[in-house]
Amino acid sequence: MTARRLMRLAMAVMAVAVPLGCTSPRGAAGGGDGIVSQASPVEQSNERPVGLPMPPAVIYKTSGDYYDNVPVGMDATRRRVVSYPAPSDLRVGGQLAKPVRLPDGYLLDCRGVNERTAFLDYTYEEYAALPAPPTARQLERHVIDRTPFIEMYFVERRGSEDVAYYERVVASGFEGCERADLDTVPATVRLKVRE
């Protein structure tokens, strides 16, 4: 299946998904991946179909100001880049997919960050302007923080346009939301590494 078809399939699944609640931690019913294992079949009708739940939204706080920096996925040791966007992936509807600023220095993710995310010295604007994506090996030289997160929470998803909802979640102290276990990062990579 081509990358474009996979993206369309993912978007279709997200369009019909049911949100997860803060009171249902990731994987409570499905083994850690945030997908409920028991789903009722979807019937043909004129109503919006109910399908798989959307993954939770991620709200996080970092040790530095990485708002403009491109996130990438690292391996468990935080030494190798294992996933990264194409320059064209940084735009959604013609706008750069930067995180949404929330109170108290929290950010609402718009790119798919998780516990193994690191940040590059590339800004969104610089990276989006590249004619082609660099290789993972090239990107490893641009990682500026391999363990950037101070806090991370998994939150019931609402449209990113419902900023007031996410502001209320922050104001509640993330009541009922799952907190990411950031203490699983190996001690050897807790320091910022600049190669």
pLDDT digits (tens, 9 = 90+) for 91-119: 988 899 999 999 999 999 998 899 999 99
Closest listed residue to residue 112, CA positions, set 185, 34, 16: 34
Environment class of 126 (CB within 10 Å of its CB; exposed 0-12, middle 13-18, buried 19+): middle
Structure tokens at 153: 């929470």
**Amino acid 52: pLDDT:** 64
Q: Is the dihedral of CA 14, 7, 130, 144 positive or negative?
A: positive
Residue 183 has pLDDT above 80, yes or no: no
pTM of the full predicted structure?
0.69
